A = this chain, B = another copy of it.
C-alpha cells in the first residue's frame, strides 16, 4: 500500500512530536498506523521498568496490525522516536484495503512473515545463547541493512534493549567481540566491514 494513495483517498495525517505516545498496553486496537515520515519504536516494559525493543518502524512502513487483526489488547507501547507524520487507518478501512488493493494482501503476508522470522531468531537467542552470541547475531542482522563501510547508528543502550542485556554487559561484550575480530569498531562505532561474514 502506497502512502500517497492513502492521502489521495482522503485519510488524515496526524503529527506526533518526538517521544509522543501513539498507543500503550491494555488499549483495544482501533487503527493500523502508516508512517508517512519519521520513526517509531515499539517497546514492552517489564514490571521493574526495563524496556525491550519489539520493533522499530520507519517511513513507508505500517504497524499495529496484529493486535487489530486478532482483536486483542496491545502488549506494547508505541512511541515516536522523532517527529513523525502518521496516518491512522480504521479497522473497516483496513480490511477494505486488504480486499480491494491489489498486492496489499500479499505485502502484508510478507511483512508479517519477516517479523515472525526476526522474532523466532531472537527467541532462540534469548532462550539459549549467551551474551556474546546474542550480540553478534543482532549486530550482524543490523549490519545487513546498511552499506559497506557505514556504521550502526544505535547506542549500546539500544543494543541492550534489543537483546535483553544490560548496557554494561553490552559495552564489555562489544570490546570482546572487537578484540576477537568478530566485529569492526572504529571510534566507538560498529562498522560494516568490506566482507560481511554473515549473510542472514
Which residues of A come within 8 Å of B, CB atoms? Answer: 44, 46-47, 50, 52, 54, 65-67, 69-70, 72, 75-76, 98, 105-106, 108-110, 112-117, 119-124, 126-129, 133, 163-164
* Cross-chain contact A128 with B98 (CB below 8 angstroms): no
Contacts of A123 in B (CB 8 A): 44, 52, 54, 119, 122-123, 126
Contacts of A114 in B (CB 8 A): 66, 70
Contacts of A46 in B (CB 8 A): 124, 127-129
- The majority secondary structure among interface residues of chain A is helix
Chain B nearest CB from A132 CB (Å) reads 11
Select one of B54, B98, B109, B120 contacting A54, CB under 8 A.
B120
Cα separation A125 to B39 with both chains bound (whole Å): 25
10 smallest beta-carbon distances between A and B, as pairs: A127-B164, A46-B128, A126-B126, A66-B113, A112-B112, A44-B124, A119-B119, A52-B127, A69-B113, A66-B116
What are some 15 contacts across the A-B interface (CB < 8 A)? A46-B124, A46-B127, A52-B123, A52-B127, A54-B123, A65-B113, A67-B117, A70-B114, A98-B109, A105-B105, A109-B112, A112-B113, A119-B119, A127-B163, A127-B164
